[in-house]
Amino acid sequence: MSLNEAEWFTERFEDLTAFSVRFSQKLFAGKSPFQTIEVYETERLGRVLILEGCFMVTEADTFIYHEMLVHPAMNTVVSPRKALVIGGGDGGTVTEIVKYSTIESCVLCEIDPMVVDVCRTFFPSLSAGLNDPRVAIVHEDGAEFVKRFHRDFDVVFVDSTDPVGPGEVLFRKSFYESVKEALTTTGAAVFQTESPLFMRTVFANAVKNLRSVFGTHRVYPYLATIPSYPGGLWSFTYCSQSEQSPVETDKTLPRVLPPNLAYYNEAVHTAAFALPEFTAAMLAG
């Protein structure tokens, strides 16, 4: 029995696999100059945000994605003060960043204002950090915006969509060079780099290009499970300006984690950088 479209939302991935969720209500459907935007109410995954037909946020697992994008770098870079988020219009990344008292300013560069508006309305706790007085929001092309900066940010988080549509430029080598330039000499950037199981080529190419820009020994891919994303096993890549390794963090530094984290802790930090054999092999070539 097939899934009734009046009750089920389905994301097809490359028309080879699909993930579906039963919804009780379609809360929003819109089309911005950049993409289609939908919000559904579901029992299993809570509210879900769909961009261009793809799961971007689910209330059930978004804590994994946002905590694992943000906290490994926040706990490696020493006293990060200035942060930049590129993409991330749902506000989840900013909400994690502003949990740290060292942060003095956080710029969110999201090309699509409709994403921000929709998430403020339908995901108030996820986007709560956007109301923090240290946060500034600009609606520009992230690849262009970051070119204006030179040694300005302690941490940069590239919270991109897949490398199609508006997210495509955020996987280019020229963009990686601009991000490196925008970092302070002790700074670090983290890029979401897709699934090493289902998007092997995209992942391997992203890491290869990041290595050519930052230097092989300053690039550290790491993993977490995001059930609503195709392939489930998801990668992020930490790239540092300095010699500070996120794997062997300085244990003499007192790290004060924000309270009420649901995924990240010190053991998870170290564990995330342990790559399975097949992933390490993909990156060895």
User: Scanning the structure block, which residue is given the tokens 């097949």?
Assistant: 278
Of 240 and 279, which has the nearer Cβ to a second copy? 279
Q: Tell me: is residue 154 an annotated ligand-binding position.
A: no
To the question of whether residue 250 is assigned a binding role by annotation, the answer is no
Tokens coding 91 = 């506000």
With beta carbons less than 8 A apart as the criterion, state whether 74 and 97 touch.
yes
User: What residues act catalytically?
Assistant: 159
Residue 142 marked ligand-binding: yes
Nearer to a second copy, 99 or 180 (CB): 99
Q: How far is the CB of 39 from a second copy (least distance, A)?
A: 17
Determine the Cα–Cα distance for residues 68 and 1; give it in Å rounded to an integer: 37
Closer CB to a second copy, 165 or 276, in the complex: 276
CB of 46 to a second copy, least distance (A): 11
Kindly state the tokens that stand for 171: 């996987």
Query: How many C-beta atoms surround the C-beta of residue 138 within 10 A?
Result: 12
Is 161 flagged in the annotation as binding?
yes
Interaction site with a second copy (CB under 8 A): 1-5, 8, 10, 12, 14-22, 42-45, 60-61, 63-64, 197-198, 223, 225-227, 231-233, 261-265, 267-268, 270-272, 274-278, 280
Shortest distance (Å) from residue 146 CB to a second copy: 31
Residue 141 corresponds to which tokens in the numbers above? 């092309």
Q: Which residue has the tokens 């970051």?
A: 146
Q: Nearest distance from residue 53's CB to a second copy, in Å?
A: 11
Closest approach of a second copy to the CB of residue 119, in Å: 22
Say whether 160 counts as a known binding-site residue.
yes
Strands (E), 117-243: 135-138, 153-159, 183-192, 219-225, 233-240
Ramachandran category for residue 66: left, alpha or beta (phi over 0 → left; psi -120 to 50 → alpha): alpha
Distant-in-sequence, close-in-space partners of 158: CB < 8 Å, separation ≥ 6: 86, 87, 142, 170, 179, 189, 190, 191, 192
Cα dist. 18→5, 138, 191, 208, 268 in Å? 14, 34, 25, 29, 29
Binding residues for S-methyl-5'-thioadenosine: 35, 110, 141-142, 166
Binding residues for spermidine: 66, 90, 159-162
Binding residues: 35, 66, 90, 110, 141-142, 159-162, 166
